[in-house]
Structure 1
Amino acid sequence: MDKSKFNFLNTSAFILLLFTMGCKQQKEQALPSQNNASENTLSYAKGFSIERGASGITTITITSPWPNAEAEFTYALIPREKLATITLNKEAYDAIVAVPVERIVATSTTHIPALEALGVENRLVGFPNTAYISSKGTRKRIETGAIKELGNNEDINTEMTLELQPDLVVGFSINNQNKAYETLQRSNIPVVYNGDWTEETPLGKAEWIKFFAPFFQMESKADSIFKSIETSYLEAKELAKKATSNPSVLSGALYKDVWYLPGGKSWAAQFLKDANSDYLWSTTQETGSLSLSIESVLEKAQNAKFWVSPSQFTSYETMKEANRHYLQFEAFKNKRIYTFAKTTGDTGGLLYYELAPQRPDLVLKDLIHILHPELLPEHQLFFFKPLD
């Protein structure tokens, strides 16, 4: 793939990731009653719920498959050994899935870490745009042909997908206009939407591992994995409170003539808040990104002590060549700019896009080490690295 095109796609994905907003309307559904049903407790995730019925049926409801979704989706998961004894009103569900799933197609790199953490990565048989995957283990399976390339997510190769005969396709979409998914569903391939990317908090994104777990009957394992991540994150957050300074932080960079940076209620801004920094746009109410002029950013952040996530830039020289206005910022002059764009997989995919949602504790520890090095002096930077 042409490198400039690949970087453009990554930049577009980054901007899209920032534009996640809440505001959802729910549709009414007449679901069959499940006596003595118990709802799985979710502490942070807002985009889905899980309910386990006494009959063994697990119901997953997705309320945020994409930003501003006007409908929710409900899926019934039935143990294979009970398929012959349970009759459901198919009209009440958007998909019915036999579990445990043995063959799965995923469509977003954020799905890969969850599958690997649960130990079911060997059940992944297809993926669109495999070049974006950074995980070394999954890349080996791609190279051996165990995972098939399925084209583009927006126009997934339905013929190849049908040949794979997956038990499940986990879909990623920015709206409800994916005709390929409709084709698969008409062919009796269950498609379920995953909206992990619409969550607005670090732990909310990470908790989506509990979405994957019921498809493999691994709820207890997912609970344990998430609890470990949650504990690590909260301990780091408490440590950050001990810092004696609250350094000012700038983020983002110009894309054409617009400076995109995280809104004050966004995922990225929450990291900076929990790292005990003064993110200069923290009081804004946007859950996605802000679109600003270079003049307004320079006026507000010229003296910011640190600059985090300057789009796709990896060196001071390329920033200078792109726009000499960058040289006016104190963080540029003092070489205090840090990027996740240098941490890539073998094919150039950015590991941050793939793994950071699953491991927010590593992101937070990186930021604490950068902003308050005295608190985590031995920490080795994982995602964020200083610019060349």
Structure 2
Amino acid sequence: MRYLTFFFLLFSFNSCIKKQETTSTDYTLQEQEVTYASGFSIKTFDTYKKIEVSSPWPESKKSLTYILYPKGTQRPTIAEKAIFIPVPIEKTIITSSTDIPILEYLEVEGSLVGFPNTNYITSEKTRRLIEKGQVKELGSERDLNTEIVLELDPDVVIGFSTTGDTKAYDLIGKTGIPVVMNGSWTEQHPLGRAEWIKFIAAFYGKEQKADSIFTTIAQEYQKVKQNAISVTKKPTVLSGDMFKDVWYAPGGHSFLAQMYKDAQTNYLWKNTDKTGSIALSFESALDTAQNADIWFSSGSANSLAQLASKNHNYSLFDAYKNKKVYSPTLKKGLNGGVLYYELGPMRPDLILKDIVKIAHPELLKNYDLYFFEKLN
């Protein structure tokens, strides 16, 4: 029944007269510079802006192009294959909670009309919009409720894919609703991930605001990084956890490994060449990191006892014995969403401060941990 309804709505949607584009007399195409991010580029021309996403998902073989042009003006005539979007947009659907802080920083959270798995949103500001019924539940990001998407009729759907499977988005795109892919999570540099605020800002005409926000975050990150250079001792770091029979740790070219480096710690898998996670046996992890000074855990345990109950061998690590285990997953929203996963990509400066505070507490004496908490 759901799919019969969808095809009826699809027919009705495509049969309707296209709504008139409103003229935005105060909208101008603003220049943007991308410094740290490698997955997208922005070029500004006289009558349009071209955004190219070169890394929408890992090992992508193609780039995606979006042409943004002011509402009320003629659509540019461009030969290359692209998705054309009149801007600024007024209604959007996003599918990753990491984009929630971006909308809020840009002060356009009111444009959000739909989101999958709304329970996992931690932001109190956006939760209030959900409670008021302004943000509709769309199910799962892998199986978006297309009927509701069509009813909401957003100007843009901002999606993401971990595998390159975009079937759900392709179906929406066929209705005439533009779908753009956000590849921020593929970035290797922490500031590269945060810089994707400029990508989303372009659709709202908020380029200057995004530049200002990102510049502040980048400057704060670099300030903390420079401050840490003065240390003489680099504590060794164990990172990750067991999942079933495999220990997953950040690869040596991952954004977390970069943060451990910038915090002047000695990450024990820094020489691996992976940009994502590396898979290890427990024996291998123990052999390498049994004597590590600090353990940054990514699991859900909220105490050392609970951690050991998940795997009694965890107690073999010196970091466990010395109560030097820290987790970023304990601070949660009302319905269980993790603050770190939602806000962390936008605020690498705060993550770096946390790591520096833990590794070199003498450097940030008056700073309280923002994401991480110590397991006792």
Whether TM-score is above 0.5 comes out as yes
Aligned-pair CA distance for 1:221: 0.8
Q: Does 1:59 align with 2:50?
A: yes
Cα deviation, 1:284-342, whole Å, max 9, x if unaligned, reads 11111111111111111111111012423221111111111111111001100000111
Aligned-pair CA distance for 1:86: 3.6
Which residue number corresponds to residue 71 of structure 2?
Answer: 80
SS of structure 1 residue aligned to 2:61:
coil
Which residue number corresponds to residue 22 of structure 1?
Answer: none
Cα deviation, 1:216-251, whole Å, max 9, x if unaligned, reads 111111111100000000000001111232101101
Give me the whole-angstrom Cα distance separating, in 2, the residues matched to 1:346 and 1:88: 48
CA contact (8 A) 2:94 2:159 kept: yes
Q: Which amino acid aligns with 1:127?
A: F
CA change 1:194–1:235 in 2 (3 A) is same
Give me the whole-angstrom Cα distance separating, in 1, the residues matched to 2:206 and 2:324: 43
Give me the whole-angstrom Cα distance separating, in 2, the residues matched to 1:145 and 1:302: 50
Give me the whole-angstrom Cα distance separating, in 2, the residues matched to 1:129 and 1:232: 32
CA contact (8 A) 1:40 1:49 kept: no
Which residue number corresponds to residue 345 of structure 1?
Answer: 333
Q: Which amino acid aligns with 1:101?
A: I
Q: Does 1:326 align with 2:305?
A: no
Give me the whole-angstrom Cα distance separating, in 2, the residues matched to 1:335 and 1:51: 50
Aligned-pair CA distance for 1:194: 0.4
Give me the whole-angstrom Cα distance separating, in 2, the residues matched to 1:310 and 1:152: 23
Cα deviation, 1:6-37, whole Å, max 9, x if unaligned, reads xxxxxxxxxxxxxxxxxxxxxxxxxxxxxxx9
CA change 1:94–1:175 in 2 (3 A) is farther
Which of 99, 102, 112 is the matching residue for 1:111? 99
Give me the whole-angstrom Cα distance separating, in 1, the residues matched to 2:150 and 2:320: 51
Q: Which amino acid aligns with 1:65?
A: P
CA contact (8 A) 1:150 1:157 kept: yes
Which residue number corresponds to residue 6 of structure 2?
Answer: none
CA change 1:374–1:124 in 2 (3 A) is same
Give me the whole-angstrom Cα distance separating, in 1, the residues matched to 2:112 and 2:67: 21
5 Å-filtered alignment, 1:1-388, equals 40-55=32-47, 57-82=48-73, 85-89=74-78, 92-388=80-376
How many residues are treated as equivalent by the alignment? 348
RMSD (Å), alpha carbons = 1.4
CA contact (8 A) 2:116 2:140 kept: yes
Aligned-pair CA distance for 1:185: 1.1
Greater displacement, 206-215 / 240-249: 240-249
CA change 1:254–1:206 in 2 (3 A) is same
Aligned-pair CA distance for 1:131: 1.3
- Gapped runs of 5+ residues in structure 2? 1-28
CA contact (8 A) 2:69 2:76 kept: no
Give me the whole-angstrom Cα distance separating, in 2, the residues matched to 1:87 and 1:325: 62
Greater displacement, 355-364 / 235-244: 235-244
Q: Which amino acid aligns with 1:220?
A: Q
Q: Which amino acid aligns with 1:77?
A: L
Percent sequence identity over aligned pairs: 48
Aligned-pair CA distance for 1:54: 1.2
Give me the whole-angstrom Cα distance separating, in 2, the residues matched to 1:347 and 1:305: 34
Aligned-pair CA distance for 1:186: 1.1
Which residue number corresponds to residue 28 of structure 1?
Answer: none
Give me the whole-angstrom Cα distance separating, in 2, the residues matched to 1:366 and 1:93: 44
Give me the whole-angstrom Cα distance separating, in 2, the residues matched to 1:63 and 1:200: 14
Give me the whole-angstrom Cα distance separating, in 2, the residues matched to 1:176 and 1:317: 40
Give me the whole-angstrom Cα distance separating, in 2, the residues matched to 1:374 and 1:41: 36
CA contact (8 A) 1:134 1:345 kept: yes
Give me the whole-angstrom Cα distance separating, in 2, the residues matched to 1:294 and 1:74: 43
Give me the whole-angstrom Cα distance separating, in 2, the residues matched to 1:142 and 1:213: 22
Give me the whole-angstrom Cα distance separating, in 1, the residues matched to 2:239 and 2:168: 37
CA contact (8 A) 1:305 1:336 kept: yes
Give me the whole-angstrom Cα distance separating, in 2, the residues matched to 1:86 and 1:382: 46
Q: TM-score, normalised by structure 1?
A: 0.87
Q: Which amino acid aligns with 1:71?
A: K
Give me the whole-angstrom Cα distance separating, in 1, the residues matched to 2:312 and 2:245: 13
Give me the whole-angstrom Cα distance separating, in 1, the residues matched to 2:360 and 2:193: 25
Which residue number corresponds to residue 17 of structure 1?
Answer: none
- Gapped runs of 5+ residues in structure 1? 1-36
Give me the whole-angstrom Cα distance separating, in 2, the residues matched to 1:151 and 1:310: 26
SS of structure 1 residue aligned to 2:65:
strand
Aligned-pair CA distance for 1:39: 7.0
Q: TM-score, normalised by structure 2?
A: 0.90
Which residue number corresponds to residue 16 of structure 1?
Answer: none
Q: Which amino acid aligns with 2:207?
A: E
Which residue number corresponds to residue 24 of structure 2?
Answer: none
